[in-house]
Amino acid sequence: MEDFLIQPFLLGISTGIFCFTYCVPFIAPYLVSEERKLAKNFKVILEFILGRLGGYILFGAIFGYLGEKISNQAVNLILIISLMVLAVVLIFYALGLLKPKGIFCSSKYIKFREKSPLLMGFLMGINICPPFLMSLAYVFSLHSVFKGIIYFLMFFLGTTLYFLPVTFLGFLGKMKEFRLIARIAGLIVGFAFLTYGIYYIIRGLTLFHAI
Amino acid sequence: MKKFFAILFLILIVGLAGYLIFTREKGAKEANNAEDFYRAKFFEKLSGNMVQCGLCPNRCILSRGQIGLCKARKNIDGELYSLNYGNVAAQHVDPIEKKPFFHFLPGAKAYSISTTGCNMRCSFCQNWDISQVFPWEVETTKMTPEQVVNDALQSGSEVIAFTYNEPIVYYEYVYDVARLAKEKGLRTVVVSNGYINLEPLRELLPYIDAYKVDLKAFKEEFYQKFTGGHLAPVLETIKTIKNSGVWLEIVNLLIPGENESKEEIREMAKWIKENVGDDVPLHFSAFHPEYKLQNLPSTPSETIIKARQVAMEEGLKFVYTGNIIYPEGESTYCPGSKEIAIERRGYMIQANNLVDGKCLDGEVIPGIWK
């Protein structure tokens, strides 16, 4: 029992800083590019975390069910595509295309913009970080959707502790210099990962391991 | 000032993104360059570039890029590679009695090496920091088989021991080192959980002089609950080693409340006597809280002493105690005359009364004595 409860939680605690590091280039520009109150920033982070949770649970269910049947190529394809979609979302956001009065000026796109932390969190949740990727061999051996979900959930809880303090990064958004720089950062980061994703697919999908 | 910090923020975020891309790509290249690893000996190619490892009963099926349960083998482009060949995580000269081998070259120095990984996940593992990790998580030293053998010779050791973590998971390295060691006149011993398929075992045995198997319990439930493995393959390994003529000794670690019942010990002793003989040394060792079982108490000395008595009641001639202070359980006795053949205190030989492996009355004590 402890193998899929305590172990992944402790793994999340011990490697959570790496997972957090992987999310920072995406969440930081988003947080800082708008002036928001602390409570709103906290809501953004919560939505991001919830989105991550959704991504983790989905992956846990898939890995737990498919086990070894899922090929590494498929895993890497999912990871890199989610990374590219995430990059595109960030680019759109940085360009202001997700504004209420942007080119997508209808109510459904306003809802999309408001929900973009959820979407970003979900895409980051799918893009599982290297320390966790290494424990997948064990998840494969569980051959259980339930155990796979629980394993991913416990890991997620362990890593989430590192995300809460980043709420305060939003204070930088009160300064217009930072808001502008954050959008520029979002653009650069978005294009960098989008380009990397294209290169990754062209040169062939292959698994990376933890640093 | 604000602009300065804002630009600093930009550099930080973009720099972090660039660093993440760089490390992902660097890691991918390093992890999948087959030239950096050693091709495994036992595996079968499957469709879709998948492979099935044939080294141990786990028989991991791996797709491209996947690493086996042992954390020591990887599918790179449809072929299986050993990740820890030549990567020595620990090396030390130990007394042979520490392994423990009590009927093999008493007092000999054993040049002991290990790498990383294991094909089990014992909750009570005392070497978990090298057995339950990937090769890149531990600092290792690259050593060729020639370097290992030369180092062993220079240390004055007569034996090379493959120990600490599970030698099976660095099979190819064990094989190459052992073959070379034999050419140079060194003896070789393996300290193992016995969880290996028969074909690789039979291929290795000609180069091994002694094999110690950890028989963790005599119940399948214990194996599944605490080790992730199964009992039956370990029993087959024990029989195969015995039949090959390689010297065999067995160790059983007794864990309070889990595998120390008299009934289980009796069953184990009976099986050993019937299947491999009453002269195979059996060591009962006391558990001390470790790794994931730090909530359990240490095994009382009385439990170990009692286990020895039970095993001897079942007819086993050479039963020893370990990890407790009990001089009677540490020494070897001549079964006929009950005289002390070899007196030990811990790992130290106090007196060796054997002459060419025989007691004073001529009784032969099984073992390898020179």
Nearest to A137 among B27, B28, B67 (CB): B67
Residues B203-217, mean pLDDT to the nearest whole number? 98
State whether B346 and B239 are in the same domain: yes
Asked, for residue B52, whether it belongs to a domain, the answer is yes
Q: What is the number of domains present in chain B?
A: 2
- Quote the pLDDT of residue A8: 83
DSSP B131-181: HSS-GGGS--EE--HHHHHHHHHHTT-SEEEE-SS-GGGGHHHHHHHHHHH
State whether B183 and B137 are in the same domain: yes
State whether B73 and B202 are in the same domain: no
Q: Among candidates B72, B70, B73, B52, which has minimal Cα distance to B62?
A: B52
Residue A44 one-letter amino acid: V
Average pLDDT for chain B: 93
Q: Can you read off the two tokens belonging to residue B59? A: 């028989």
- Quote the pLDDT of residue B265: 97
Q: Can you read off the two tokens belonging to residue B237? A: 């390994």
Q: Residue A159 in contact with residue A49, Cβ under 8 Å?
A: no
B17–A178: do the CB atoms touch at under 8 Å? no
Nearest to A25 among B17, B23, B27 (CB): B17
A207–B136: do the CB atoms touch at under 8 Å? no
Output DSSP code: residue A5.
Answer: T
State whether B202 and B66 are in the same domain: no
State whether B52 and B199 are in the same domain: no
Chains A and B: how many Cβ contacts under 8 Å?
A: 110
State whether B328 and B191 are in the same domain: yes
pLDDT digits (tens, 9 = 90+) for B3-60: 888 899 999 999 988 988 887 777 666 667 788 899 999 999 998 888 999 999 999 9
Q: Which chain A residue lies closest to B19 (C-alpha atoms)?
A: A22
A137–B18: do the CB atoms touch at under 8 Å? no
ipTM for the assembly: 0.78
Given pLDDT bands bounded at 50, 70 and 90, which one contains residue B109? very high
Asked, for residue B20, whether it belongs to a domain, the answer is no
Asked, for residue B205, whether it belongs to a domain, the answer is yes
Residue where one domain finishes, among candidates B83, B101, B119: B83
State whether B96 and B221 are in the same domain: yes
Low-confidence ranges of chain A (pLDDT < 50): 100-110, 206-211
State whether B76 and B114 are in the same domain: no
Spatial distance between the Cα atoms of A34 and A176, rounded to a whole number of angstroms? 9
B9–A32: do the CB atoms touch at under 8 Å? yes
pLDDT digits (tens, 9 = 90+) for B60-101: 988 888 888 998 999 998 999 999 999 999 999 999 999 999
Q: Which chain A residue lies closest to B50 (C-alpha atoms)?
A: A71
- Quote the pLDDT of residue A120: 85
CA distances in angstroms from A52 to A91, A148, A157, B86, B236, listed in the order given: 20, 16, 10, 40, 47
pLDDT digits (tens, 9 = 90+) for A133-186: 666 656 666 667 787 788 888 888 888 888 888 888 888 888 888 888 988 999
pLDDT digits (tens, 9 = 90+) for B277-323: 999 999 999 998 877 787 888 999 999 999 999 999 999 999 999 99
Q: Is A137 on the interface with B (CB under 8 A)?
A: yes
Spatial distance between the Cα atoms of B311 and B278, rounded to a whole number of angstroms? 10
User: pTM of the entire structure?
Assistant: 0.72
Backbone angles phi, psi at B74, to 5 degrees: -140, 145
State whether B94 and B168 are in the same domain: yes
Q: Which chain B residue lies closest to A21 (C-alpha atoms)?
A: B16
- Pairwise pLDDT comparison (B228 vs B250), residue with the higher score: B250
| Structural domain boundaries enclosing B131 | 87-352
Collect all residues from B whose CB is shorter than 8 A from any CB in A.
Answer: 2-3, 5-7, 9-10, 13-14, 16-18, 20-21, 23-28, 30-32, 48, 50, 60-69, 71, 75, 134, 136, 292
A210–B136: do the CB atoms touch at under 8 Å? yes
pLDDT at residue B256 is higher than 70: yes
Residues of A in contact with B23 (CB under 8 A): 211
Asked, for residue B184, whether it belongs to a domain, the answer is yes
A43: distance to nearest CA of chain B, Å?
22
Residues of A in contact with B62 (CB under 8 A): 68
Q: Can you read off the two tokens belonging to residue B260? A: 């120390």
The CATH number given to whatever domain includes residue B127 is 3.20.20.70
- Quote the pLDDT of residue A13: 87
Backbone angles phi, psi at B248, to 5 degrees: -125, 135
State whether B78 and B187 are in the same domain: no
B63–A181: do the CB atoms touch at under 8 Å? no
pLDDT at residue B139 is higher than 80: yes
B147: distance to nearest CA of chain A, Å?
29
B23–A76: do the CB atoms touch at under 8 Å? no
Q: Is A103 on the interface with B (CB under 8 A)?
A: no
B13–A25: do the CB atoms touch at under 8 Å? yes
A162: distance to nearest CA of chain B, Å?
17
Asked, for residue B363, whether it belongs to a domain, the answer is no
Residue where one domain finishes, among candidates B22, B53, B83: B83
State whether B76 and B213 are in the same domain: no
Q: Can you read off the two tokens belonging to residue B281? A: 């040394």
Nearest to A206 among B20, B32, B62 (CB): B32
- Quote the pLDDT of residue A107: 45
Q: Best of A6, A169, A189, A193 to disrupt the B interface by mutation (most B CBs within 10 Å)? A: A189
B224: distance to nearest CA of chain A, Å?
12
State whether B53 and B166 are in the same domain: no
